[in-house]
A and B are shown apart, each in its own frame.
Chain A
Amino acid sequence: MWTFIFRRLVYNVPVYLAILLFVMAALRVSDPVPGFLGKNASQEDYDAFRQKAGLDQPFLKQYVDFVKSIVTCDFSTESWDRTGATVQDRLTKCILPTLSLTVPALIITSIVSVTIGLISAYFRGGLIDRTLVFLAVLGMSVSFLVYIILGQYFGAYMLTRALGTPVFAIHGYRPGLENWPFYMLLPVMISVIVSMGYDTRFYRAAIVEETGQDYITTARAKGASGRKVLFVHVLRNALIPIITRIMITLPFLITGSVLLESYFGIPGMGNELISAINSKDFPIIQAFTAVFAGVFILSNILTDVCYAIVDPRVRLS
């Protein structure tokens, strides 16, 4: 197992280096300095800033320096946009609000969607199945933005007016478990509702596919009850697509949800990235892209490892 992980890591090093090269080149196609300094800066100001930011150095040197900083996890480069704050300061400050939104959302979505997928598959072709599929398709057909706008309006504003006491915050974020339900539960619920449509359909399809396999017929022939077949045999074997789906989502846990964060005032990674892009905060964009690419590669490796754990047929050799 460890050999496999090590080998995958080594294979992915050149891939990662190539991604970094591409990212750095792409970010430099259009000179970021004039965009950042604005309308009143002179050529002299541009040159001075370029020198200060190290952008006057040859590209290869910039690349080597950046790779070095990634390898040593040194993100002490100063943010252009918020002087005094390093890239590390800004990213670490945002990661917890983001995770307190995305992790519960992922956990709840996965549990609920798998459950509904199982129920749907169990009653396959029946009224319950059709109703659940209809609701899932309906859920998928509505834009995320609509859920947020309506969720915020009815779930926070109108509910507050109706009850005379705020149940959910319209906007804002405070850390701490005691504050979590007030500030985060509504965004999490919206996120769950949005994802449920897609996930339920996917999990239902995966589970239904398993129910047609020969070993399921065998289990039934041996006298296993319908529930036992579903929860013990089908679910275990349907774990591969479920894991794939969840693992694909993992890198996006750190990116957060730009829309949810911006509507609910959650100072998370999505907001931070958009803010950095808007203000041409070059070091943040560059570091964030590099970190995201790294997490993506790691999650791919983790997916393979999970496959091996849940399915003994997968041979790592």
Chain B
Amino acid sequence: MAATCVALVRRSPLTRKSALTQNSKRRDNQRPQPLSTNRWTSLFELLSVLADRAMHGRSGATLPTVVSHDSRFSVRVCVASLVAFFLCVGCEKGTNVSVVTVSTSDGQTITREPIVLSLPMRTDGPKSMDPVRGSTTYDNRACCQVYETLVEYRYLGPLELKPLLLAEMPEVVNHGTVYRFKLKEGVRFQDDPCFPGGRGRPLTSADVFYSWKRMADNDNSPKSWWLLKGAIKGFDSYREEQNAAETFDYDAEVAGMRIINDREFEVELNQPVYRFMYVLAMFQLSIVPREAVETYQERFGLHPVGTGPFQLRDESDWERANYLILHRNPDYHACHFPLKEEVPEALHGFCKEDSFGKRLPLADRVEISFFIQDQPMWLKFRSREVLYSQVPAESYPSAFIKRTGKLRDSYVAEGIVHHAVPLLDYIFFGFNMEDKLLGGDDDKNRYLRQAISLAIDWDERNAMFYNGNNIVYDGPIPPGLDGYPVNGRAPKNYRGPNIEKANELLAKAGYPGGKGLPEIDYYVSRGANNEEQTELLTRQLAKIHLAMNLHLVDFSTLINAITKKKAPMFSFAWGSDYPDGENNLALFYGPNRSPGSNHFNYQNPEFDDLYEQIRGMAPSPERTKIYQQMRDMVIEDVPAIGSMARTRNYVVNPQLRNFLPTENFYNWVKYLDLAE
């Protein structure tokens, strides 16, 4: 039997004119009052009356007495002009729903106030909501609410993959080269006019291959073809042929893609590559319906249609540099919040008690505000108009006690919770190993690189520019991944500052006291505080009498110089594409050298053999051991100095429940709920 309740709209800051029911009550008394009741309403009404009279020439008998009879005409004209101008600006678009009707897991239908999540995004918004064209974190965050991939990362648990659009994890046969997939039953695309009758149809195997083939079509300007490059049998040649042909044939066969039936298909790889599973979880490989792509064509990026928990109902719900409003997908397939026993006990406190086992998504509407500047985001967080926020650098001292790094008592008293989220970051100083002075694998050159490494004080950089929040570690594998050294410190390392040892090695390299050593050309992108960071580096290296010739350039120029092997020493950061150390070790794999991702042009046959070995290996203690071995090779040969991983500080208002911030994946919005 349907239970019905009518209550107040849980008003969001983007919502301005929903009607309040008479028996309504505010659940959240800490939230500012509804905007439609503010004093501007009466001002607007007054202006409307004045304008109306000015335009219709009626008597202004009820004009405020402060307006003299003589000045009435000019007032009317001014008001009429203002009204005329602003009416040109347009009318408010209502986005409100006072109540929603939802089905419960036990089959009942209830009417209740909508749950609206007001979330921030620290950018002017996603560039496109076509997964194939997306590449940034922000594209990811927007796309993965509407679209879905075959597998996803586990939320509130260990960082591992689990099926999303699949009925089960794929069966891997033929020595890791053949993957057999079975799609989950009951998955439908969101309703959209592109489908017959406007009703979304069930997902099929053909949709998966169609979506992947879009990655190969140059007309789509895919930014992430490298994810599939060389992976699937016959896919690279298919790409070449079809791009050379007059029209791209999506129905042409690819040797490694085989449809068994509507729900089952098989993929054959050129060689065993374990990262293929991680690639399947990346938003660029989300599944899209062919009908929508063909109907909306170039505008498909503005009109997403997926299988995800939320949908963009109207293109006007997304305004660049302003907001993105997503609504619950009423036909979302059976997907549930983890059961209590599946969630580690330490995380139970973050979860709302009645969320466990509940059908997703928990929210009815998600309103994402875009913030180009940090101050408004922070102020909106402090006034509880957005539910969480990253802590901007300038707000750090007001929110945290610098000495302990703990949240201030006043914040704790408000119920605000702090989460420090380490990123999969690899911030390094790199060398071009083909450079005559700094490169090369003979001892003399290696000593020079080791000496430079020993002169650099990462902790000072961390304290000076990052409030000491970053994690300094040895080698290229970031915290949280297999192969990361215990406590960040490798058994043998060249982490500075150790000026004495650095001078010793410098002498062994043939430059005692830095004599005879020419200036080192150092390339770095300008912007942020890179100039200041370079000052620090210059000062640190001066301690071993090493002089720098600085090249502060645009990021594109930097990448160009590195790709063309013109930069002997350089710096930038690598964010892991997926949570596996293999992604970072690939940066040192010989065949990937410039213009590939091995910007260091590091070549070590032993390292390359090991890399080829681990490429097809699933996570295991054996694989971790090889990762450590490869990590230590990089530390010893010093093609790169480092490293450091940034930590992002999140603060969460008490209204938001079930939120455990992560930046490894972004489809966690479906798990979020509001406090009672």
Contact = CB atoms under 8 A, between A and B. Distances in A.
Contacts of B88: 96
Interface string A32-45: 00110111111101
A166 B47 contact: no
Given A34-B559, A40-B226, A96-B90, A82 B369 contact: no
Interface in B499-551: none
A245 interface: no
B376 A161 contact: no
Nearest to B91: A176
Contacts of B559: 34, 39
Contacts of A165: 32-33, 37-38
A249 to B, nearest CB: 17
A147 to B, nearest CB: 13
A31 to B, nearest CB: 8
A58 B299 CA distance: 30
B221 interface: yes
A165 B40 CA distance: 12
Interface in B21-48: 32-33, 35, 37-41, 43-44, 47
A171 B47 contact: no
B223 A78 contact: no
B128 interface: yes
A152 interface: yes
A160 B92 contact: no
B370 A265 contact: yes
Contacts of A177: 44, 47, 83, 86-87, 89
Nearest to B120: A171
A41 B206 CA distance: 27
Interface residues of A, number: 63
Contacts of B39: 167
B38 A167 contact: yes
Interface stretch (B318-326, B358-366, B468-476): B318-326
Contacts of A8: none
Given A178-B41, A263-B373, A43 B595 contact: yes
Interface in B359-404: 369-373, 375-377, 379-380, 382-383, 385
Given A160-B32, A165-B38, A172-B14, A179 B92 contact: yes
Interface residues of B, number: 72
Contact of B376 (A96, A152, A175): A152
Given A82-B320, A177-B83, A181-B44, A172 B383 contact: no
Given A34-B556, A48-B218, A160-B32, A41 B86 contact: no
Contacts of B221: 49, 52, 83
A227 to B, nearest CB: 17
A267 B320 contact: yes
Given A83-B130, A164-B33, A280 B223 contact: no
Contact of B299 (A52, A84, A176, A264): A84
A157 B91 CA distance: 26
B35 A176 contact: no
B369 A172 contact: yes
Nearest to A171: B376
A279 interface: yes
B595 A42 contact: yes
Contacts of B319: 93, 267
A198 interface: no
B371 A171 contact: yes
A85 interface: yes
Contacts of B300: 84
Given A39-B559, A82-B302, A176-B89, A272 B321 contact: yes
A44 B223 CA distance: 12
A34 B595 CA distance: 12
A201 to B, nearest CB: 27
A152 B375 contact: yes
Given A30-B554, A166-B35, A182-B38, A172 B127 contact: no
Given A48-B243, A178-B92, A166 B223 contact: no
Contacts of A220: none
Nearest to B303: A84
A39 B563 CA distance: 10
A265 B368 CA distance: 12
Listed from nearest, the 7 A-B pairs whose CB atoms lie closest are A35-B556, A171-B376, A177-B86, A175-B90, A84-B299, A176-B92, A267-B321
11 contacts: A35-B556, A83-B130, A100-B89, A175-B93, A176-B86, A176-B92, A177-B83, A178-B92, A181-B44, A267-B321, A275-B124
Interface of A: 30, 34-35, 37-43, 45, 48-49, 52, 78, 81-85, 90, 93, 96-97, 99-100, 103, 149, 152-153, 156-157, 160-161, 164-167, 170-182, 261-267, 271-272, 275, 279-280
Given A172-B13, A179-B16, 17 more contacts: A35-B555, A41-B223, A81-B127, A83-B221, A83-B298, A84-B303, A96-B89, A100-B89, A164-B33, A171-B369, A171-B376, A175-B91, A182-B35, A182-B40, A266-B321, A267-B319, A280-B556
